[in-house]
């Protein structure tokens, strides 16, 4: 007989532990347990069977892995939590005695400080692991950087978040690592590529934030403590890599003392360099090394090319291959040759960040937006592009600007400086997402902007693509059906309203009364005449006798059956004729078109007006014939699909039904969007 196993020593009861048991085992409070789990990256688990995992009769909801809790037993942060608890007790004792100065001194000098450096090294053994987990950190830190200071969120935390976020943005500007951005309702999405890793985060708009009491800021503050440590390490590593890159660029360069642009002994080095260069050229020609030098720069240029290859599909039916993003050199040269001026109604912070990340080094703005601008003068002739976000107003409705001697010269709102390109802020985002400069006239002040699409959503096959023309996306016969539906709606609207009964005057009512008396006299005369003989009703027994005697025909007799057979033959013959007409429909259409053209010529020669009713009838006939063909083709495809389903197994048939359902739903949504676009284009025309 085997040994009897004790309950709770194996299986799920051993692998899982409840939260209450974990808190008791670690001998800490519940808030400290939550902080410790956030720092170490331990989260609750869901067992397969809660009854087997629970060691008690009461139902438990939160479970953890037992090995994770055992791993926390040796965590150095536990000792820090216990020290904080003992210091808090001493401070409370001093405050109870009224010794406030001693309590402040104890909190300032003896309060233990938590350091999460060892936690960062444990959770992220490589730098790539830290970059992969940077999305949530950036989103939360950018959120706290925009919050107002309060009792829940101290000003020191906000200042720390702002400093780390600005440091990260400066690295993206210097390295040209920013790739895409999107304006959404939640905020502005950004995507950067750092060492081959795509990092996406969300930055909220700079509105006035209202801090509500529904949010537990203690848990969010714990995440902020961890993420600030993580981003501090990442920024240090990124800035160190930039420093190494800058030092490496100066290794192969000439020293400054040997540069020909320097002057020595009061003489220009240009004269000396000409003589030396002439002697060197003679030596090179005599040695035959001039060809090698001509070839070397070409090879070096070929090696230095940093262009990204583009993948093209081999067949037109193949899927579109994902293309690589811009390189750092291409992104850094997008806005490099331009000088931008940001008007005060446009959002300065995101525009400045994007423009600088894509190569622009000279950006100006109004004085009210702060310092650090290339110029505060809006009339500076070096400005090539100005970003405005106001509609064009008539000059008469604009107030006059008072002249000031010290302040920079301002341009009256609504006026335009010649030779300068005026665009709305969306132009900047669309340009960086497309990787090229778009037409600026489509984004002019007061213009209806094109749709701002997400750069991460790619159009799928069968779906709606707002960038492609509508004619390329429409299905066969979809445009004709939409036109017919619109025409029918217009006809319904153009119909005459129901005629109302006219009001009757007194004289008209007397005439109607006399006519009614004459009609009643004629009805009495008709009643005096002999009534028409009605046919007697026939009972079931009489009908049987009559059918035997042959005096009355009964339904289902031989004569009726013969007549029905003849009708069926006639219908079959007519159907064959219709099929033959369908086969030769193209010849008939051509012949009808020639006859129509001949009638038009005859009417024109005779000087008679030609009626277009026949043309409209023929056009309607063609439309109906085309719609019938499309319906027959669709019916044939459905029948073929049903026949294929009959040959499949049950599993494959279910899978095919799910696929057809999802495709049908997608096509319906695409059809709705196309119909909306069709109506908009028709209204614009």
Distances (CA, A) of 231 to 27, 123, 154, 223, 615: 31, 14, 19, 12, 75
CATH number of the structural domain spanning residue 349: 3.40.50.10190
pLDDT, position 232: 96
Enumerate residues 6+ apart whose C-beta is below 8 A from 270. Answer: 260
Same domain, 16 and 74: yes
Residues 105 and 121 in one domain: no
- The residue-averaged pLDDT of 375-397 equals 83
User: Mean pLDDT in the chain?
Assistant: 76
DSSP-derived secondary structure letter, 64: E
pLDDT confidence of residue 537 = 47
Report the share of the chain in percent with pLDDT over 70. Answer: 65
Is 87 among the domain residues? yes
The per-residue pLDDT for 401 is: 57
For the segment 435-457, the average pLDDT, to the nearest whole number, is 90
Contact 38, 79 (CB under 8 A): no
Same domain for 338 and 429? yes
Does 499 or 366 have the greater pLDDT score?
366
Residues linked to residue 191 through DSSP beta bridges, in sequence order: 180, 200
- Mean pLDDT for the stretch of residues 619-643: 78
Q: What is the pLDDT of residue 417?
A: 87
- 217, 168: one domain: yes
Domain boundary among 248, 265, 294: 248
**Residue 268 backbone dihedrals phi, psi, to 5 degrees:** -75, 140
Does residue 250 carry a pLDDT above 70?
no
What is the average per-residue pLDDT within 608-629? Answer: 65
64: pLDDT strictly greater than 60:
yes
Measured CA angle at 548 (ends 545, 554), to 5 deg: 90
Instruction: Based on the fold, state whether residues 239 and 121 are members of the same structural domain.
Output: yes
Domain presence at residue 445: yes
Quote the number of domains for the chain.
Answer: 4
Count CB-CB contacts under 10 A for residue 509.
9
In this structure, the answer to whether residues 165 and 99 fall within a common structural domain is: no
Please state at what angle helix 269-287 crosses helix 290-304, rounded to 10 degrees: 110
Q: Is the pLDDT of residue 521 over 60?
A: no
Segment 136-157, tens digit of pLDDT: 999 999 999 999 988 889 999 9
Between 3 and 495, name the one with better pLDDT.
3
Task: Provide the domain limits for residue 417.
Answer: 334-393+413-459
* Nearest-angstrom CA–CA distance, 157 and 674: 49
For residue 97, being part of any structural domain is answered with yes
Q: Where are the beta strands (DSSP E) in 62-196?
A: 63-65, 178-183, 188-194
**Pick the residue with more confidence: 422 or 599?**
422
455 and 349 in a single domain? The answer is yes
Residue 481 lies in a domain: no
Q: Does the residue 238 lie in any domain?
A: yes
Distances 459 to 311, 426, 455, 472 between C-alpha atoms, Å = 18, 21, 10, 14
Domain-embedded: residue 257: no
Domain termination residue (choose one: 402, 427, 459)? 459
Quickly state the pLDDT bin for 488 (edges 50, 70, 90).
low
Whether residue 161 is found in the same domain as residue 212: yes
96 and 153 inside one domain: no
Contact 258, 70 (CB under 8 A): no
DSSP tally for the chain: helices H, then strands E: 25, 9
Q: Are 340 and 346 in contact (CB under 8 A)?
A: no
d(CA 382, CA 364): 10
User: What would the two tokens of residue 293 be?
Assistant: 């030098």
Ramachandran angles phi, psi of 626, nearest 5°: -65, -40
Inform me whether the pLDDT recorded for 244 exceeds 90: no
User: What is the pLDDT averaged over residues 420-436?
Assistant: 94
Lowest pLDDT segment from 181-195, 484-498, 615-629? 484-498
Q: What's residue 635's pLDDT?
A: 85
The answer on 100 and 171 residing in a single domain is no
State pLDDT tens for residues 527-563: 454 444 444 444 444 444 444 444 444 444 444 445 4
Residue 601 confidence (pLDDT): 78
pLDDT at 633: 82
Burial 36-66 (b: 16+ CB within 10 A, else e): bbebbebeeeebeeeeebbeeeeebeebbbb
**pLDDT classification of 314: cutoffs 50, 70, 90:** low
- Output the pLDDT for position 552: 42
Q: Do residues 420 and 368 share a domain?
A: yes
The DSSP call for residue 429 is: H
Least confident of 61-75, 189-203, 418-432, 596-610: 596-610
The pLDDT of residue 235:
96
Helical (H) or strand (E) element with 363? strand 363-365
62 and 103 share a domain? yes
Quick one: average pLDDT of 131-136?
95
**Residue 290 falls inside a structural domain:** no
Q: Could you give the CA distance from residue 262 to residue 260 in angstroms, rounded to a whole number?
A: 5
Residue 12 main-chain phi, psi, to 5 deg: -70, -30
E-strand stretches of 424-574: none
- Taking the CA of residue 290 as centre, how many other CA atoms within 13 Å lie in the half-sphere pointing to its CB? 8
Q: In this structure, are residues 45 and 69 in contact, taking their beta carbons and an 8 Å threshold?
A: no
Strand 188-194 vs strand 178-183: parallel, antiparallel, or unpaired? antiparallel
pLDDT digits 0-9 by tens, 7-60 = 777 788 888 999 999 999 999 999 999 999 999 999 999 888 888 888 776 776
201 part of a folded domain: yes
């Amino acid at each position: 007989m085997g040994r009897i196993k004790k309950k709770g020593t194996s299986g799920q009861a051993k692998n899982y532990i409840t939260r209450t048991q974990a808190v008791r085992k670690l001998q800490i409070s519940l808030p400290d347990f939550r902080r410790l789990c956030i720092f170490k990256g331990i989260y609750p688990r869901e067992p397969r069977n809660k009854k087997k995992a629970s060691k008690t009769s009461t139902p438990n909801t939160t479970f953890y892995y037992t090995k994770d809790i055992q791993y926390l037993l040796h965590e150095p942060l536990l000792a820090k939590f216990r020290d904080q608890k003992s210091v808090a007790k001493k401070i409370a004792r001093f405050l109870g005695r009224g010794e406030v100065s001693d309590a402040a001194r104890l909190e300032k000098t003896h309060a233990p400080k938590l350091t999460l450096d060892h936690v960062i090294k444990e959770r992220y053994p490589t730098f790539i692991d830290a970059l992969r987990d940077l999305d949530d950190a950036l989103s939360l830190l950018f959120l706290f950087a925009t919050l107002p200071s309060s009792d829940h969120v101290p000003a020191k935390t906000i200042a720390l978040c702002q400093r780390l976020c600005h440091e990260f943005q400066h690295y993206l500007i210097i390295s040209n690592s920013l790739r895409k951005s999107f304006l959404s309702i939640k905020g502005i999405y950004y995507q950067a590529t750092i060492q081959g890793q795509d990092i996406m985060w969300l930055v909220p708009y700079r509105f006035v934030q209202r801090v509500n009491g529904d949010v537990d800021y203690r848990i969010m503050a714990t995440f902020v403590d961890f993420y600030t440590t993580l981003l501090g390490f990442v920024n240090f590593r990124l800035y160190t890599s930039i420093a190494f890159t800058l030092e490496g660029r100066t290794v192969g360069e000439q020293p400054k003392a040997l540069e020909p642009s320097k002057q020595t002994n009061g003489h220009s080095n240009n004269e000396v360099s000409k003589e030396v260069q002439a002697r060197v050229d003679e030596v090179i020609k005599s040695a035959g090394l001039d060809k090698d030098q001509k070839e070397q720069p070409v090879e070096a240029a070929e090696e230095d090319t940093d262009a990204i290859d583009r993948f093209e599909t081999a067949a037109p039916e193949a899927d579109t291959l994902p293309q690589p993003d811009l390189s750092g050199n291409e992104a850094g040269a997008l806005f490099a040759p331009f000088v931008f001026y940001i008007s005060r109604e446009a959002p300065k912070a995101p525009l400045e960040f994007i423009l600088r990340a894509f190569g622009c080094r000279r950006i100006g703005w109004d004085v009210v937006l702060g310092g650090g601008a290339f110029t505060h003068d809006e009339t500076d002739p070096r400005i090539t592009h100005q970003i405005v976000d106001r509609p064009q107003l008539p000059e008469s409705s604009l107030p006059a600007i008072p002249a000031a001697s010290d302040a920079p010269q301002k341009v009256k709102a609504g006026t335009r400086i010649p030779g300068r390109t005026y665009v709305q802020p969306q132009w900047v985002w669309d340009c960086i997402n497309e990787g090229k400069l778009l037409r600026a006239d489509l984004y002019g002040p007061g213009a209806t902007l094109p749709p701002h699409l997400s750069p991460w959503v790619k159009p799928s096959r069968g779906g709606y693509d707002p960038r492609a023309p509508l004619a390329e996306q429409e299905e066969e016969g979809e445009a004709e059906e939409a036109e017919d539906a619109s025409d029918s709606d217009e006809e319904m609207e153009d119909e005459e309203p129901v005629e109302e009964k006219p009001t009757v005057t007194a004289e008209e009512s007397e005439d109607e009364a006399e006519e009614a008396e004459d009609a009643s006299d004629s009805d009495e005369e008709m009643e005096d005449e002999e009534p028409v003989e009605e046919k007697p009703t026939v009972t079931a027994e009489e009908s049987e006798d009559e059918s035997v005697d042959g005096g009355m025909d009964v339904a289902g007799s031989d004569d009726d059956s013969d007549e029905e057979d003849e009708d069926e033959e006639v219908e079959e013959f007519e159907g064959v004729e219709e099929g033959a007409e369908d086969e030769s429909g193209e010849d008939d259409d051509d012949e009808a078109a020639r006859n129509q053209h001949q009638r038009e010529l005859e009417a024109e020669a005779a000087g008679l007006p030609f009626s277009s009713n026949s043309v409209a009838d023929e056009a309607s006939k063609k439309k109906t014939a085309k719609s019938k063909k499309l319906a027959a083709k669709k019916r044939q495809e459905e029948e073929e699909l049903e026949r294929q389903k009959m040959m499949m197994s049950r599993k494959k048939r279910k899978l095919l039904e799910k696929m057809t359902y999802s495709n049908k739903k997608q096509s319906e949504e695409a059809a709705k969007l196309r119909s909306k676009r069709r109506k908009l284009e028709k209204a614009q025309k």
